[in-house]
Chains A and B, each alone.
Chain A
Amino acid sequence: MSSVGAVEAVTAESTRDEPPAKLVRRTFSNPIASTLIIVLTILWTVPTFGLLVTSFRPAEQVATTGWWTAFVHPTLTLSNYHTVLFVGGYGVSNGLLPYVINSLAITIPGTVFPLVIASMAAYALAWVKFKGSDIVFFTIFALQVVPLQMALIPLLQLYSGGAHIGSVAVIPNLHLTGTYWPLWLSHTMFAMPLAVFLLHNFIAQLPRELMEAAQVDGAGHFKIFRTIVLPLAAPAIASFAIFQFLWVWNDLLVGLTFAGGTPAVAPLIARLNQLSGSYGSHWELLTAGAFISMLVPLAVFFALQRYFVRGLLAGSVKG
Chain B
Amino acid sequence: MTTAILADPVLADSGLTDFASKFGQVIAALAIFLGVLGLIFFAAGRATGRLSRPLAVLVFLGPAVLLLLIGLVIPAVRTIYLSLKSDDSSRFVGVKNYDWAFTTSTIHQVLINTAEWIVVAPLLATGLGLAVALLVDRLKRQALYKSLIFMPMAISFVGASIIWKFVYDARDPSQPQVGLLSQVVIALGWSHPPNWILSHPLNNFLLMVILIWTQTGFAMVVLSAAIKAIPNEIVEAARMDGARGRRLLVWVTIPMIRSTLIVVLATVMITTLKIFDIVRTMTGGNFGTQVLANEMYSQSFTEFNYGRGSALAVILFVAVLPLVGYNIVQLRKERSTK
State whether these chains interact. yes
Which chain A residue has the least Cβ–Cβ distance from B304? A153
How many Å lie between the Cα of A120 and that of B178 in the bound state? Answer: 53
User: For A62, what are the chain B residues with a Cβ–Cβ distance below 8 Å?
Assistant: 178
Q: Are B230 and A309 in contact (CB under 8 A)?
A: no
Question: Among B144, B152, B230, B244, which residue has its beta carbon within 8 angstroms of that of A48?
Answer: B152
Q: Are B296 and A149 in contact (CB under 8 A)?
A: yes
Q: A33-B135, A147-B274, A222-B41 are in contact. Are A128 and B296 (CB under 8 A)?
A: no
* Size of the chain B interface, CB-CB below 8 angstroms: 136
Q: Are A150 and B228 in contact (CB under 8 A)?
A: no
Total number of residue pairs linking A and B with CB closer than 8 Å = 398
Secondary structure class of chain A's binding surface, majority of residues:
helix
User: For A63, what are the chain B residues with a Cβ–Cβ distance below 8 Å?
Assistant: 178
Q: Are A24 and B61 in contact (CB under 8 A)?
A: no
User: For B44, what are the chain A residues with a Cβ–Cβ distance below 8 Å?
Assistant: 222
Which chain A residue has the least Cβ–Cβ distance from B141? A4
Q: Are B26 and A85 in contact (CB under 8 A)?
A: no
* A269 interface residue per 8 A CB criterion: yes
* B25 interface residue per 8 A CB criterion: yes
User: For B18, what are the chain A residues with a Cβ–Cβ distance below 8 Å?
Assistant: 97-98, 101
* A261 interface residue per 8 A CB criterion: no
Within 8 A of A (CB), among B151-185: 151-159, 161-167, 169, 176-180, 183
- Closest Cβ of chain A: how far from B241's Cβ, in Å? 14
A219-232 interface code vs B (CB 8 A; 1 in, 0 out): 01111011000000
Q: Are B314 and A21 in contact (CB under 8 A)?
A: no
Within 8 A of A (CB), among B67-94: 67-68, 70-76, 78-79, 82
Q: Are A246 and B154 in contact (CB under 8 A)?
A: yes
Which chain A residue has the least Cβ–Cβ distance from B296? A149
* B335 interface residue per 8 A CB criterion: yes
Which chain B residue has the least Cβ–Cβ distance from A197? B331
- Closest Cβ of chain A: how far from B247's Cβ, in Å? 10
How many Å lie between the Cα of A310 and that of B8 in the bound state? Answer: 44
Instruction: Find the residue from A62, A65, A180, A252 having the highest chain B CB count within 10 A.
Output: A252
Q: Are B72 and A153 in contact (CB under 8 A)?
A: no
Question: Among A66, A112, A223, which residue has its beta carbon within 8 angstroms of that of B45?
Answer: A223
Q: A51-B162, A222-B41, A273-B277 are in contact. Are A150 and B317 (CB under 8 A)?
A: yes
Secondary structure class of chain B's binding surface, majority of residues:
helix
- Closest Cβ of chain B: how far from A98's Cβ, in Å? 5
User: For A309, what are the chain B residues with a Cβ–Cβ distance below 8 Å?
Assistant: 221
User: For A72, what are the chain B residues with a Cβ–Cβ distance below 8 Å?
Assistant: none
Q: Are B4 and A81 in contact (CB under 8 A)?
A: yes
Q: Are A222 and B327 in contact (CB under 8 A)?
A: no
* A130 interface residue per 8 A CB criterion: yes
Q: Are A64 and B75 in contact (CB under 8 A)?
A: no
- Closest Cβ of chain B: how far from A307's Cβ, in Å? 13
User: For B122, what are the chain A residues with a Cβ–Cβ distance below 8 Å?
Assistant: none
* B115 interface residue per 8 A CB criterion: no
Within 8 A of A (CB), among B128-166: 128, 131-132, 134-139, 142-159, 161-166
* B263 interface residue per 8 A CB criterion: yes
User: For A26, what are the chain B residues with a Cβ–Cβ distance below 8 Å?
Assistant: 138
Question: Among B155, B162, B249, B328, which residue has its beta carbon within 8 angstroms of that of A142?
Answer: B328
Q: Are B53 and A128 in contact (CB under 8 A)?
A: yes
Q: Are A25 and B137 in contact (CB under 8 A)?
A: yes
- Closest Cβ of chain B: how far from A192's Cβ, in Å? 5
How many Å lie between the Cα of A142 and that of B232 in the bound state? Answer: 35
How many Å lie between the Cα of A123 and that of B48 in the bound state? Answer: 19
Q: Are A7 and B232 in contact (CB under 8 A)?
A: no
* A59 interface residue per 8 A CB criterion: no
How many Å lie between the Cα of A28 and that of B253 in the bound state? Answer: 12
* A211 interface residue per 8 A CB criterion: no
- Closest Cβ of chain B: how far from A102's Cβ, in Å? 7
User: For B327, what are the chain A residues with a Cβ–Cβ distance below 8 Å?
Assistant: 316-317
Chain A to chain B contacts (Cβ below 8 Å), 28 pairs: A4-B143, A11-B228, A21-B227, A21-B228, A63-B178, A105-B25, A109-B26, A121-B65, A129-B53, A143-B68, A144-B324, A145-B317, A150-B76, A150-B313, A152-B75, A153-B75, A189-B67, A192-B67, A220-B52, A222-B56, A226-B41, A256-B297, A290-B163, A294-B159, A300-B154, A301-B153, A312-B221, A319-B320
Shortest Cβ-Cβ A-B pairs, 5 listed: A189-B71, A250-B156, A124-B60, A121-B64, A301-B154
